[in-house]
Amino acid sequence: MKGLLNIVLTVVLATTTMTVYGQKKKRNVKQYNSVEVYRANDVIQDLLKSGRDTVFTRHYLSSFLVDSTRLWKEEVKYTGEKLDDNKYKLSAQSRLKEKNSGELKLNTESEKVYHKNKSDAVHILNRRYLLDGLVEEVVHQNKQYVVKCIDKEGNVLNETGCLRYSQTPFPVEKTEKFQNNLQKTITNLVSKSKGRLPRYIILAIEADYESQRWNLALDFPKEYKLGSDMHTSLVAAIAHVLNNEKLEEYHFDKDINGNYYNRTMFIPLSFR
């Protein structure tokens, strides 16, 4: 039986949405695909070539694209606009579905300006709307990175950000035990089981502050058969490891006023 190649923890999120501040270098392509779709990078090249204006909406569950008829938690409206013969702007507005009412609440807004025939944006603006009217704004332009925390009156409170993990790195080293347990459990399962392995699995592990529990979503390759014995065993093994991982304060993000926010970690599992 083929074994587990690696487990890599890449912290790319500050919340349940796929808001990625800045343009990262390409990571493992199996993980990067989900990021690409959320950013609409899967369609931007066609839009740059055609220069056409467009509006489209996508729905996500733990930042994985899903059909609107299925369970989803986030709706993102994308707007593409030709500014001139050499510039194109792609905007995105994210709204999260409230658990009890089902109403949509503004979560993030972003704008990216591209030059024609160039894959990277020359200007990026991201805003995240927080509690108490706080707004965290991040701008990338001309290789410069500017972050601001803005109050509800529009006053700039600081230039380090509203959230602690905007100001300081997430303590990845604290997750090493979980990663090791996950790798050991999956390796043991693979060595003892029969069945076809997926090329990869992407785990979206959300620390939910309101319920004080973990939420788990898994993304498999489209061609992989769901419901097979191997698929069921993999899901059960991953859930077992996660259920034994203690949820702690550092798993959540926190703003300058002391409000806590859900936070999602992405872990890609690659099989060879």
N-terminal to C-terminal alpha carbon distance within the chain = 10
The 3-state secondary structure of 237-257, one letter per residue: HHHHHHHCCCCCHHHCEEECC
188 and 148 in one domain? no
User: In this structure, is residue 22 part of a structural domain?
Assistant: no
Q: Which residue has the higher pLDDT, 217 or 134?
A: 134
User: In this structure, is residue 15 part of a structural domain?
Assistant: no
State the amino acid at position 47 in one-letter form. Answer: L
In order, the DSSP letters of 26-91 are: P--HHHHHHHHHHHTHHHHHHHHHH---EEEEEEEETTEEE-TTS--SEEEEEEEEEEETTEEEEE
Domain that includes residue 176, residue range: 4-10+170-271
User: In this structure, is residue 18 part of a structural domain?
Assistant: no
Percent of all residues in the chain with a pLDDT value above 70, rounded to a whole number: 88
Give the model confidence (pLDDT) of 97-115 as tens digits: 998 898 999 999 999 999 9
33 and 109 in one domain? yes
148 and 249 in one domain? no
What pLDDT shows up at residue 2? Answer: 37
User: In this structure, is residue 112 part of a structural domain?
Assistant: yes
State the amino acid at position 165 in one-letter form. Answer: Y
Q: Following CA atoms 188, 192, 198, 201 in sequence, which dihedral angle do they give, to the nearest 10 degrees? A: -20
- Smallest CA-to-CA distance from 91 within 45, 26, 33, 44 is with 44
152 and 77 in one domain? yes
User: In this structure, is residue 237 part of a structural domain?
Assistant: yes
User: How many domains would you assign to the chain?
Assistant: 2
Percent of all residues in the chain with a pLDDT value above 90, rounded to a whole number: 59
| Residue the block writes with tokens 């529990």 | 213
pTM value is 0.83
175 and 120 in one domain? no
What pLDDT shows up at residue 27? Answer: 43
| Residue the block writes with tokens 């349940």 | 16
117 and 41 in one domain? yes
Of the three residues 162, 182, 208, the one that is the final residue of a domain is 162
138 and 175 in one domain? no
